[in-house]
Chain A
Amino acid sequence: MVVLDAEASQVAGRAGAVEGVPVHVYEPYAAHLPPLRTYLREVGERRRFAYRMAHATLKGRNYETVFGQLWLVINPLLLAAVYFMLVTVLAGSQHRNPLMGFTVILSGLFSYYYTRNIIQLSSTSITGGGKMIMNMAFPKALLPLSSLFSSFMMYWPTLVVYAVAHLAAGRAVGLAFAWLVPIFVVQTVFSFGCGLLFAAMAVYFRDTSSLLPYALRIWIYLSPVLFTVSQAKLKLAGNTWLLWIFKVNPLYPIIGSWNQVILEDRAPDAVLMLYGTAWALVSLVGGAWFFLSREREFAYRI
């Protein structure tokens, strides 16, 4: 197999180079990853591009109009309503106030959608950016990063809607809510790692992005979205196998701890926090390794 890896860029400093003029050297080389510091610096320098592109993506989907924004919120709300009715019909409500039960589903669902959007948008970010990849030299991680930004822009309006529902249901808000910040960071890191993985995978298997929605649909049923962690533990008590699948799922600690804070107004279980953080690191390191070690080949394969 021909090694296509290349490129080690550096700023002048060597003999014969002119002060302040960047020197780029491109050659095939054996190193598995591009030089990380240079790479991260270049990503940092162009983050505004990723951000602007995220805006453009939303604009392209008409999400930057009033009705677009509304739809962004109404769509998951309707979905939540469907799930809520399903759960209530199947399991019966434990809450006298139906809004209480509704917020349980709403918080998990919105949170799940954030991760889902990052992964789904990322999965087409490279294959859909062919023109850029063929004609511009840039750190390709900017494209999944832009998907992350888009997803966040789609996420925060739903958080506002949730806050309204939360207060309307008469749920408590306390100091423990500060925990939501680290949990959000953990979720973002985890999702971005997955995004990098699927973005690169789609280059090799173009049907990735059409198979993903099915996997993502199954994922929601395995995650503490339609029920809480404690409900699941109670229901699955005897079923070690199902309980194991349920617990291996990275969204179990992530959405689980998120819901503990929001719905129970308390600090999340330390075990859940640590477990979620571990998943986030595994995902980021694994996803970034897979993506970065292959991105120099993308232009050959697009």
Chain B
Amino acid sequence: MPTASELAVKVEHLSITYRASVEKVPTLKSAIKRAGRRERMVKEIAAVRDVSWRIDHGTVLGVVGANGAGKSTMLRAIAGILPPTRGRIEVHGRVSTLLALGVGFNSQLTGRENVILGGLAQGKAEAEVEEKYEEIAAFADIGEFMDMPMKSYSSGMYQRLAFSVGVHMDPDILLVDEALSAGDAAFKRKAARKMDELCRAARTIILVSHGMASVREMANHCLWLHKGKLMDQGEPEAIIAAYMRFLEVGEDAFAMEDV
């Protein structure tokens, strides 16, 4: 297992551009129609623009920014889901993702079966997941619902189980996208405790959240993205303060101040 002060993630001049076609759903029919007119409408969306940073193992990195700032896009690039358009990403260690809850789950299956499926989806061996099963079930704490099909779950129960699977995969690096909102207040506290525990075990966490409180509590380093650009990075307190001020005074005033 990697120890602190070893490089965990390095992002260099990362840019990610979506090329969204104007038609909502691409079809053969529309392609044939378009071929007749020789037109092709694509819109480029620069979701992440020339962002660079690096963190060592043991860092809990909080990423803040308004909606559409490119936080999720950057996280997906680190997970290896979206290849960079430009730039380079280096990731040292096994990554587990909590980008959306219950990825790989199938609502027809029971909670128990889904724990196995979710673990396999994260690249674990079946025996490893089965070994972890009791721990995962205990953490999710949804009782006999473990043996019921997941379509009978409330959304809270679904989230608890999905969160539990995600954090029990022994990752070196855990990527979390707004997932701490899982469940009720009691579960949130438990989730926060689990995160704390993971941090102390020299695990590295990248935490995207617009809940300032959780970033302030857990993170020891913070990035602030705005419209794809890295505005600032550093101590969470300072960054969050700057970000809050920015939210209050609005973008224009902030830009003026810079001049």
Contact = CB atoms under 8 A, between A and B. Distances in A.
Classify chain A's interface size.
35 or more
B29 A207 contact: yes
Given A23-B92, A27-B89, A6 B121 contact: no
B89 A25 contact: yes
A5 B108 contact: no
Contact of B103 (A21, A136, A299, A301): A136
B208 to A, nearest CB: 13
Contact of B92 (A2, A18, A45, A211): A18
Given A134-B76, A136-B97, A205-B28, A23 B91 contact: yes
Contacts of B92: 12, 17-18, 21-23
Given A18-B92, A135-B99, A206-B27, A2 B85 contact: yes
Nearest to B129: A48
B117 A52 contact: yes
A49 B104 CA distance: 9
Interface in B40-59: none
Contact of A53 (B78, B90, B106): B106
A133 B97 CA distance: 12
Nearest to B126: A48
A131 B100 contact: yes
A22 B94 contact: yes
Contacts of B245: none
A24 interface: yes
A142 B232 CA distance: 40
Nearest to A207: B27
Interface in B155-174: 172
Contacts of B241: none
A53 B80 CA distance: 22
A135 B26 contact: no
Contacts of B104: 49, 53, 132, 136
A60 B28 CA distance: 29
A60 B18 contact: no
A296 interface: yes
Interface in B10-51: 17-19, 25-29, 31
A27 B84 contact: yes
A204 B30 CA distance: 11
A269 interface: no
A28 B108 contact: no
A205 B27 contact: yes
Contacts of B125: 45, 48
B172 A21 contact: yes
B106 A56 contact: yes
A7 B80 contact: yes
Contacts of A296: 83
B81 interface: yes
A221 B21 CA distance: 38
A13 B108 CA distance: 43
A53 B84 contact: no
A17 B90 CA distance: 11
Given A53-B106, A132-B104, A208-B28, A24 B117 contact: no
A27 B80 CA distance: 10
Interface string B237-255: 0000000000000000000
Given A18-B6, A134-B81, A299-B76, A28 B25 contact: no
B85 A28 contact: yes
A9 interface: yes
B123 interface: yes
Contacts of A205: 26-28, 31
A138 interface: yes
A234 interface: no
A18 B100 contact: no
Contacts of A53: 104, 106, 117
A136 B123 CA distance: 10
A59 interface: yes
B121 A206 contact: no
A131 B120 contact: no
B149 to A, nearest CB: 9
A206 B26 CA distance: 6
Contact of A24 (B80, B106, B126): B80
A2 B106 contact: no
23 contacts: A6-B84, A9-B80, A17-B92, A24-B80, A24-B90, A25-B90, A25-B91, A26-B84, A28-B85, A28-B86, A45-B123, A49-B120, A59-B108, A134-B99, A134-B100, A135-B99, A136-B122, A137-B97, A205-B26, A207-B28, A211-B28, A299-B76, A300-B19
Interface of A: 2, 4-7, 9, 12, 17-18, 21-28, 42, 45-46, 48-49, 52-53, 56, 59-60, 131-138, 204-208, 211, 296-297, 299-301
Given A6-B83, A28-B85, A134-B81, 8 more contacts: A12-B92, A21-B93, A46-B123, A60-B106, A131-B103, A136-B103, A136-B104, A301-B26
**Which 10 A/B pairs are nearest by Cβ-Cβ distance?**
A6-B83, A137-B80, A49-B120, A205-B28, A56-B106, A207-B27, A135-B99, A26-B89, A60-B108, A27-B88
